[in-house]
Structure 1
Amino acid sequence: MSITFSSPDEADIEAVRQVDLTLTPGKTLALVGESGCGKSVTARAVLRLLDKNAEIRRGSIVFSPGDEPPTDIVKLKPDSLPLRAIRGNQISMIFQEPMSSLSPVHTIGDQIDEMVIIHEGLKPKQARERTVALLDQVGIPGARERADAYPFQLSGGLRQRAMIAMALACTPKLLIADEPTTALDVTTQAQILDLLRQLQADFGMAMLFITHDLGVVAEIADEVAVMYLGDVVEQGNVHDVFARPSHPYTQALMASIPKMARKADRVRLSPIKGTVPAPRDRPEGCAFTSRCPYAFEPCATVRPERTAVGNGHHARCHLLTRQPAEAVA
């Protein structure tokens, strides 16, 4: 799948380039990378929630829940009934900032009630009982009373739990979590991650977890896809990628993680040198070329092939196909 943004004053920009991800029921795929690399755009494309100037020009989004025939979401019209039947029902999303995603003029209960009434046809009283049960399931104390609260009356952690309850209202087959622990304290973050793991085990759903925190990835993910400037540069089992990172960008991310050490053993952090290029200045070849310490002639002009480096572990880097005699020490 490729996503292009158009502008009347400038040339079109391909913000996401040929991303190929597969999600499995009961498993979590973490999509990681620096801010602005295209993680959230990729997630919103699954639900066709892109801005008006964004277009999926190449590729498909195939959704195949259970025994039902597969559906290419790209071919569905944005306001069509088939897409509405999927959005919020079979595929749900936990947005990055619940305070701006929840309606400030409707109570938490009313917003969750609406989801259940629309997708499952329950009557208002039945929907409210479902809502209270969901709020209780996600660990909100005094669920029946909290259902009548407005978002601004809840703490950040409770708002996030309410957002999770809304996303799970119709028992989705796929849950997209867009940085659900951002701006939460460490204790609340751990509680939210434990909650998501438990709910996934209960419902057996697939989960796409978007984050820039590699510590969270190690805790919750089964597989990880590393994204840089709209391109997935490495993908595989989380243990394999963390133990044997094969792309220079993944290696740089791992090296930049702060490590606990005694005072005598302390070393300076190892940041990734340079800055992320603007999407319009991206090289034709590998997007990481301008910051890569191993870059050589083909990197800027030829896009690397997706190369297997292990069982289910792939990376896009010219170093992986370079002749042994030319290998970088």
Structure 2
Amino acid sequence: MADKPLLKIENMSISFSSPDEPDIEAVRQVDLTLTPGKTLCLVGESGCGKSVTARAILRLLDKNAKIGSGRILFDEPGGARVDLAALKPDSTAMRAVRGNHISMIFQEPMSSLSPVHTIGDQIDEMMVIHEGLKPKQARERTVALLDQVGILGARERADAYPFQLSGGLRQRAMIAMALACTPNLLIADEPTTALDVTTQAQILDLLRQLQADYGMAMLFITHDLGVVAEIADEVAVMYLGDVVEQGSVYDVFAAPQHPYTQALMSSIPKMARKADRMRLAPIKGTVPSPKDRPQGCAFTSRCPYAFEPCSTVTPERTAVGANHHARCHLLTRAKAEVPA
């Protein structure tokens, strides 16, 4: 079935340990579902736990991080369902999934690619390890992939080192590497952040086309709501490790329910005539540190609508429409005030 989930994250919490301090919870009770052929965008300010959530799927967390609770259920090709959270990061089973069935485009390719190996050698290695191809076969596939992602002179570029390529070409090479084994799920961690707007548009078009060609699910991490509107099917908004709102891109953009989502939408610059120009509406304050997490709703200190329970009681997830929900006491109060 096309609508059958490929990966489900259920009630996942992630914490970081320190020799001198108690464990710090960076992600709390996250629930996400990824479906073949669909794109889920994970959005929020820096420090909200987006990249940590993505890296947990591939078990690429730092050594002092642990998944304290929850499951990451992945349907492998062939029908077997495996809980990735239960696998050891360096296990054979996890290595068989990583790069083969689930791939990741990292935020900064210059620091993710090896500076002492050519682009071609790094992509070849993926297919040699996971698909058992001979080196010559792998190189032909590599050249075809580099050509597919729009790198001119692909055969010559395969012999180039990362520092010999521009930022846009390095990002395309990273995409080619992620697609080397035709993954079922592609995780893209802010792949257009460091690129100019023209290259960014080209990369987004490329990802959409590749997703249509391969039918893969995609988890796209960004803080750019313009990119979200262009590429997402569903949106999950994170704040200080919590998913505070989730729904279809149309529902979330047309009728944001959580004050944080509303503030993000209000902070987007808008085109206007000179007479209608208005100052930007920034979100006051900053995201608190996870080690100083407030009680109750994490957004309380920055929320213009905060009232009594917000600072003491953690809000429950409230349905506001079909497949659209948010965590906010305002929604709970509004439902309680509706006459039976």
Counterpart selection for 2:85 from 58, 66, 74: 74
1:219 and 2:236 correspond? no
The equivalent of 2:204 in structure 1 is 193
How far apart, in 1, do the equivalents of 2:337 and 2:292 lie? 29
* Structure 1 residue identity aligned to 2:107: Q
Q: Is residue 21 from structure 1 mapped to residue 32 from structure 2 by the alignment?
A: yes
Superposed displacement of residue 325, structure 1:
8.8
Q: What amino acid maps onto 1:322 in structure 2?
A: R
Aligned partners of 1:211, 1:323: CA distance in 2, in Å? Answer: 31
Aligned-pair CA distance for 1:65: 3.4
Q: Which amino acid aligns with 1:131?
A: T
| Deviation readout 1:212-238 (Å, 9 max, x if unpaired) | 000000000000000000000000000
**Structure 1 range deviating more: 21-30 or 275-284:** 275-284
* Larger strand fraction of residues: 2
Determine the C-alpha separation between the residues in 1 that align with 2:195 and 2:163: 16
Give 1:248 shift: 0.2
State the shift of 1:267 in Å. Answer: 0.3
Q: In structure 2, which of residues 67, 84, 99 is the aligned counterpart of residue 56 of structure 1?
A: 67
Per the TM alignment, residue 79 of structure 1 is displaced from its structure 2 partner at its CA by 1.1
Matched, 1:280 2:304: no
1:74–1:324 Cα change, 3 Å: closer
Give the whole-Å Cα distance in 2 for the aligned partners of 1:277 and 1:151. 36
Whether 1:32 aligns to 2:43 is yes
Q: Distance in 2 between matches of 1:198 and 1:238?
A: 19
Please report the TM-score for the alignment, with normalisation by the length of structure 1.
0.98
* AA matched with 1:37: C
Distance 1:139 1:42 in 2: 30
Among residues 214, 224, 241, which one is paired with 2:252 in the alignment?
241
Matching residue of 2:216: 205
State the 1:48 CA deviation.
0.3
Percent sequence identity over matched residues?
86
For the pair 1:126 / 2:137, whether they are aligned, the reply is: yes
Q: Distance in 2 between matches of 1:323 and 1:260?
A: 34
1:311 match? 322
Cα distance, 1:323 vs structure 2: 4.7
1:67 shift after superposition:
4.1
Looking at structure 1, the residues matched to 101 and 335 of structure 2 have their Cα atoms a distance apart, in angstroms, of: 48
The CA RMSD over aligned residues, in Å, is: 1.1
User: What are the within-5 Å matches in structure 2 for residues 22-171 of structure 1?
Assistant: 22-171=33-182
Q: Match of 2:333, SS? A: coil
TM-score between the two structures when normalised by the length of structure 2: 0.95
Deviates further, 31-40 or 74-83 = 74-83
Tell me what 2:306 maps to: 295
CA contact (8 A) 2:27 2:240 kept: yes
Q: Distance in 2 between matches of 1:121 and 1:326?
A: 63
Q: Pick closer, same or farther for the CA change 1:240–1:323 going to 2, 3 Å.
A: closer
**C-alpha separation in 2, matches of 1:164 and 1:129:** 17
- Determine which of 13, 20, 24 is the counterpart of 1:9: 20
Deviations 1:98-150 (A, max 9, x none): 00000000000000000000000000000000000000000000000000000
Provide runs of 4+ in structure 1 moved above 6 Å.
Answer: 324-327
In structure 1, stretches of 5+ residues that fail to align are none
Return the alpha-carbon distance in structure 2 between the equivalents of residues 300 and 114 of structure 1.
Answer: 52
Between the aligned partners of 1:251 and 1:74, the Cα distance in structure 2 is 33
Report the CA distance shift for 1:136/1:3 in structure 2 as closer, same or farther (over 3 A).
Answer: same
